[in-house]
Amino acid sequence: MRQFKSLAPFAAGLVMAGMLTGVLAAPAQADIRIAVAAAFSGQFAPLGDQILAGARLAVEDINASGGLRGEKLVLEEADDRCDPERATALANQLTGKGVQLVIGHLCSSATLAAAPVYAEAGRIQITVASALPQLTEARPGPGFFRLGPREDATAPFIAERLAQEFAGKRIGLVTDRSAYGKDFAARVKAAMQAKGLSPALERELDAGARDLKPLASALKGERLDVVVLGAYATDAGHLAAALSALDMQVPLLAGDAAMGMEFGAAAGEAASRVEVTFMADPAAVPDSPAREIASRMRAAGMVPSPYATDGYAAVQLFAAAVDASGSFDFAPVAAALQSGSFDTVSGTVSFLPDGDREGAGLSWYRWQDGRFRPSDLPR
């Protein structure tokens, strides 16, 4: 039987304070140190900032309500720049400082490199964004957990949409030549085949190419009914704009790599024609506690997102596991996380034996009013 633990006391109507930072000369019971390890510089910095914003808000709420079992949480950030070597070095630094929870890393390569360090040191690690299946298939230790969906969930999700709406239609598959694009193409084709579907056309694009008119012309000439796109945000936006310029009015369904603010600038008026898969947004569900968190973040000039929501939830989960186990020690906290079922701003969270979140979901998003908004859930 799973233990059910409400987290409402940790998030009830509290006022935001400033960012919490701290450095301890030696471990002390008075302060419980946690960290967000992600990219805070480089192209993925906006995503790291979102996770940090959610975690920071949760820390402020818990401290404002008296702390965690009477102890103050102290939050720090560690910028790995999505670099595996840097992530490993930072992991050693964080464990050396006595950090008990690491929310991270962002990129799968960084998480894969750093996870053994946390496992050996006996630290809880909760990743929000790293989707590599290997992370839980070869779980580094009992303290590793993942909140977001695995990357191999995307292709079946897209194939299900194609089977429901485009069976018997001409489906185009366009990917870039990156490792992501090649993996995306292979997974989508396999998932389509399982549904009795196959692409009528496959094409590759050059990442960073500004002129995609030749590719757009080739796609238009094939009389496609839908285009599935595996490319990063800027390239996805440029292709959408090129297709729109040729008046090719077919749906574009893109993988999560297209989910970035730069997409809107690249796509221009064509942005709203593309739907992108991404982790489900709890704030899109009516009466979800994530809506309050999103409102508070907007009021503070921050960007609410599923990453921010899960950053908040990761802190909640650690706090709830400490409370449930009555201890700050690694083994009982990890055991509580593994066996428990917890109400969070990200919904009810429980974990499978491999550390993946049970029922981690995906949604469709469309560009609207300057940002991606869920297109398959009521607002």
Q: Give the pair of three-digit tokens for residue 329.
A: 């020690």
Q: From the centroid of its chain, how far is CA 241?
A: 26
Region 232-259 average pLDDT: 94
DSSP character at residue 71: B
Annotation: CATH topology of 31-149+286-361? Rossmann fold (3.40.50)
E strand or H helix that includes residue 295: helix 289-299
Which residue is associated with the tokens 């790995």?
A: 80
What is the Cα–Cα distance from 137 to 214, expressed in whole angstroms?
41
List where CATH 3.40.50.2300 sits in the chain: 31-149+286-361, 153-279
If you classify domain 153-279 with CATH, what class do you get? alpha beta
Peptide bond before 105: cis, by omega within 30 degrees of 0?
A: yes
- Checking if the pLDDT of 213 tops 90, the result is yes
- Checking if the pLDDT of 305 tops 80, the result is yes
- Checking if the pLDDT of 4 tops 70, the result is no
- Checking if the pLDDT of 1 tops 90, the result is no
Q: What is the pLDDT of residue 44?
A: 86
Q: What is the pLDDT of residue 29?
A: 52
Q: Give the pair of three-digit tokens for residue 112.
A: 């894969």
Local structure of 25: helix, strand or coil: coil
What is the Cα–Cα distance from 278 to 263, expressed in whole angstroms?
14
Q: What percent of the chain has pLDDT over 90?
A: 73
pTM of the full predicted structure?
Answer: 0.80
Instruction: Give the pLDDT confidence of 84-126 residue by residue, as tens digits.
Output: 999 999 999 999 999 999 999 999 999 999 999 999 999 999 9
